Structure 1
């Protein structure tokens, strides 16, 4: 059974030449929307995805604008409104050491180097220079763990376990 990962949602058409407006859900838009890449369109009420090849990509305001090979006017892409753009697990590609996909980190247990259990990663914020992992602890308490070498000592995706060395004040 293939696993699919959402990279964006087609929210509208743009102009009359077959361009679609996409709200991105990917950390790597440059890579995902590269000319020649294949994405899969999952339309509501359709069981089979439609593979499309990217012809062009540009950004406009907060949207990504894409065109696909063989879809040259608005009438051909109108039906894609509201569809999701996905890639298959095989397309994820290898990440550099120390890089992870959000779906790999969310749900991991976070413990300190002393073995104290802090909680589970519930979401990831990307405010700027480094990501911040929101960890939900017991009693619904939230901790904000910056993803920096000083704090995050080990990430074990296979065991869904992250070891941190808390800085002063981080867990208070």
Structure 2
């Protein structure tokens, strides 16, 4: 099965005509107005009749679900899209899901570890690489530190702190 990305969470029914309130869990909430369908955790698909911005969230009407009783069971469900439908990022920018799992090497080719987490610090992200002995190496996501990211090849090259100038 293809990889799915979470883009929102249904928080509650909205009104009595089958609409739901959704909290966007994406940097691109405008995507909802263009979506034709979404996946749920169980793999089922819901077709979207319309979606509109409402306060800090999104209101969605799913096709065939026309009253509050039809949608009550959807409360708390995550909405997902296929990875292939993700918004294309500019060159040199990556989604967190693309970074996690990359093998990290220093610029001499020495294996450092595997990215297990991306910390959002505000100023810049920090990649957490876990070494074979389970120790963690923190790598700031800065151009002077991360010299190459090869998503297809599954690896990242970094310049270690001792080498920074």
TM over 0.5: yes
TM-score between both structures, scaled by the size of structure 1: 0.77
Task: Give the whole-Å Cα distance in 1 for the aligned partners of 2:163 and 2:59.
Answer: 45
Name stretches of at least 5 consecutive residues in structure 1 with no aligned partner: none
How far is 1:80 from its partner?
A: 1.4
Aligned-CA RMSD value = 2.8
Query: Would you say 1:9 and 2:28 are equivalent positions?
Result: no
Name stretches of at least 5 consecutive residues in structure 2 with no aligned partner: none
User: Contact conserved, 2:11 with 2:20, CA < 8 A, in 1?
Assistant: no
Query: Would you say 1:67 and 2:66 are equivalent positions?
Result: no
TM-score between both structures, scaled by the size of structure 2: 0.80
Task: Give the whole-Å Cα distance in 2 for the aligned partners of 1:166 and 1:158.
Answer: 23
Residue by residue over 1:96-137, the C-alpha shift from the partner in whole angstroms, topping out at 9 and shown as x without a partner, is 111112221111111111222110000111121221111111
Matched residues, number: 162
Over 4 Å off, 4+ runs:
14-17, 69-73
Residue by residue over 1:16-50, the C-alpha shift from the partner in whole angstroms, topping out at 9 and shown as x without a partner, is 562324362x3x233433x2333414164xx5311
